[in-house]
Amino acid sequence: MIGGLFIYNHKGEVLISRVYRDDIGRNAVDAFRVNVIHARQQVRSPVNNIARTSFFHVKRSNIWLAAVTKQNVNAAMVFEFLYKMCDVMTAYFGKISEENIKNNFVLIYELLDEILDFGYPQNSETGALKTFITQQGIKSAHHTKEEQSQITSQVTGQIGWRREGIKYRRNELFLDVLESVNLLMSPQGQVLSAHVSGRVVMKSYLSGMPECKFGMNDKIVIDKQGKGGGTDEAGKSTGKQSIAIDDCTFHQCVRLSKFDSERSISFIPPDGEYELMRYRTTKDIILPFRVIPLVREVGRTKLEVKVVIKSNFKPSLLAQKIEVRIPTPLNTSGVQVICMKGKAKYKASENAIVWKIKRMAGMKESQISAEIELLPTNDKKKWARPPISMNFEVPFAPSGLKVRYLKVFEPKLNYSDHDVIKWVRYIGRSGIYETRC
């Protein structure tokens, strides 16, 4: 089990140090600093074993979070806990920065006491935590005495993530499908690897203890229905319309037994914002952009680069925040750029040309050309030609996922599925979206 948890700033100074077990001494703090943060060579492994003590760390901007143990623990569990810990802290005080941590150290210690007990992870549900850990920014005003008295029965009960007796005048829920698409493409346009990792994030404001059922165009479900029903409609909806999900994980509120047997996603949602599921697909991905690079070396001192990007989605949709990053050789001494659309600039500090376009409709194309002057060096090493990378945001799901329905049943209270106002939004972002040149 986790023996202790330390938070360091980028210099390796300890901001938070919480030891849960006696087998972790004070010197463990220094061991991590010396061997990982200040290591001569950058330490890339997130798990390090120093003097028979294991250190699991994650880094958030300049902050290091390290969980320490002497025992043989499940590393996946530790990392899941660390991520949860980050989520909780973000929910409480926003960005994880040195400043914020210093300002909220009392809160953090209180949280650490609550979510880890003798090294065993406890309830880390933000919603539940916020009902009884109320520091600074979190207002406890709207919690009545009565509500607070329910905390114990809630967190120890079967449905730890939702308390009873929630009432809203307007029953409303928001559903976001957030996806990030990753791609590696050869210069000739051959897809070397591509996958989408997506999340379904919900914000629900529903009264009582509603039972929800979520449906999407999962291939297995649709095939099953197609077989069972045999109607024309079901037959149509198979094929291109359904997607194959490689793997998925759910929020704890989802009934896994039901998912296993019927592949239906049914749950009693927590109140407020939460992540319903996470999934990954690798087949039939819609690639929103195609990058066509053209690099020509003119002698030893000049390089000509031309990059064309083509948007590949419905013309009615608009992509936003497009940024193309073209790496330049290390001996670049000057760059001239011409682009038809957006703005392009040579950023010496990053050794790249950065081309930004605010928005772009589907089925369009745009082009940039640059002349790069080089300084002859006595180094025989050839330029490695790192790939051209791209960032963007599109209003559809590149995996093809569609929400088919989200049904809400609340048997006790008097509102039906139709009374609930539902909002669905799709956002596709770029992950690592690279094209070799």
Partner 1 sequence: MPAVSKGDGMRGLAVFISDIRNCKSKEAEIKRINKELANIRSKFKGDKALDGYSKKKYVCKLLFIFLLGHDIDFGHMEAVNLLSSNKYTEKQIGYLFISVLVNSNSELIRLINNAIKNDLSSRNPTFMCLALHCIANVGSREMAEAFAGEIPRILVAGDTMDSVKQSAALCLLRLYKTCPDLVLMGEWTSRVVHLLNDQHMGVVTAAISLITCLSQKNPDEFKTCVSLAVSRLSRIVSSASTDLQDYTYYFVPAPWLSCKLLRLLQCYPPPEDGAVKGRLVECLETILNKAQEPPKSKKVQHSNAKNAILFEAIALIIHYDSEPNLLVRACNQLGQFLQHRETNLRYLALESMCTLASSEFSHEAVKTHIETVINALKTERDVSVRQRAADLLYAMCDRSNAKQIVAEMLSYLETADYSIREEMVLKVAILAEKYAVDYSWYVDTILNLIRIAGDYVSEEVWYRVIQIVINRDDVQGYAAKTVFEALQAPACHENMVKVGGYILGEFGNLIAGDPRSSPLVQFNLLHSKFHLCSVPTRALLLSAYIKFINLFPETKSTIQEVLRCDSQIRNSDVELQQRAVEYLKLSSIASTDVLATVLEEMPPFPERESSILAKLKKKKGPGAVSVNELEDAKREGGELNGGGERADTSAMAASNASTPSPSADLLGLRPAPAVGSAPPSTGSLLVDVFSEGSAAPSAGVNDDGFLRDLEQPPETSDTLLAEGPGDSDSAPPPAVSEEPAPPLPEAEELLNKFVCKNNGVLFENQLLQIGIKSEYRQNLGRMYLFYGNKTSVQFVSFSTTVSCPGELPTQLNLQTKTVEPLIEGGAQVQQVVNIECLTDFVDAPLLNIKFRYGGALQNLTLKLPVTINKFFQPTEMLSQEFFQRWKQLSQPQQEAQKIFKAGHGIDTEVVKAKLLGLGTALLENVDPNPENFVCAGVIQTKAQQVGCLLRLEPNAQAQPGEQMYRLTLRSSKDTVSKRLCELLSEQF
Which spans of this chain sit near partner 1 (rule: CB under 8 A)? 10, 62, 330-334, 348-351, 373, 375-379, 381
In the bound complex, what is the minimum distance in angstroms from residue 331's beta carbon to partner 1?
6
Helix, strand and coil content of the chain, in percent to the nearest 5, comes to 20, 40, 35
Between 331 and 391, name the residue whose CB sits nearer to partner 1. Answer: 331
Query: What is the closest distance, in whole angstroms, from the C-beta atom of residue 302 to partner 1 in the complex?
Result: 11
In terms of CB distance, is 252 or 333 closer to partner 1? 333
- For residue 71, the cross-strand partners are none
Smallest gap, in angstroms, from Cβ of residue 298 to partner 1?
A: 15
Calpha distance 293→387 (Å, rounded):
10
CB of 252 or CB of 377, closer to partner 1: 377
d(CA 3, CA 380): 51
CB of 17 to partner 1, least distance (A): 22
Nearer to partner 1, 15 or 112 (CB): 15
Choose between 98 and 147: whose C-beta lies nearer to partner 1: 98
Is the CA virtual torsion 245, 249, 253, 259 positive or negative? positive
Instruction: Tell the smallest beta-carbon distance from residue 16 to partner 1 (Å).
Output: 20
- Identify any residues that bridge with 58 across adjacent strands, giving them in sequence order: 65
The closest of 201, 145, 184 to 425, measured between CA atoms, is: 201
Smallest distance, Å, CB 362 to partner 1?
35
Residue number with CB closer to partner 1 (144 or 301): 301
For the four alpha carbons of 234, 236, 241 and 246, in that order, the dihedral sign comes to: positive
Residue closer to partner 1 by CB (options 106, 330) is: 330
CA-closest candidate to residue 26, choices 48, 6, 50: 6
CB nearer to partner 1: give 61 or 261.
61
For residues 352 and 330, give the distance between their C-alpha atoms in angstroms, rounded to a whole number: 10
Q: Least distance from C-beta 131 to partner 1, angstroms?
A: 37
Q: Name the minimum Å distance from CB 55 to partner 1.
A: 20
Q: Which is nearer to partner 1, 20 or 346 (CB)?
A: 346
- Please report the DSSP string for 72-131 in residue order: ---HHHHHHHHHHHHHHHHHHHSS--HHHHHHTHHHHHHHHHHHEETTEE----HHHHHH
Burial of 76 (0-12, 13-18, 19+ CB in 10 A): exposed
Min separation Cβ 345 and partner 1, Å: 13
Rounded (10°) CA dihedral 278, 282, 285, 291:
110
Nearer to partner 1, 316 or 378 (CB): 378
* Contact predicate 196/415, CB 8 Å: no
Q: How far is the CB of 356 from partner 1 (least distance, A)?
A: 18
Q: Which residues contact 7 (CB under 8 A, 6 or more apart)?
A: 14, 15, 16, 17, 63, 64, 65, 66, 101, 108
To the nearest 10°, report the CA torsion of 112, 32, 73, 260: 70
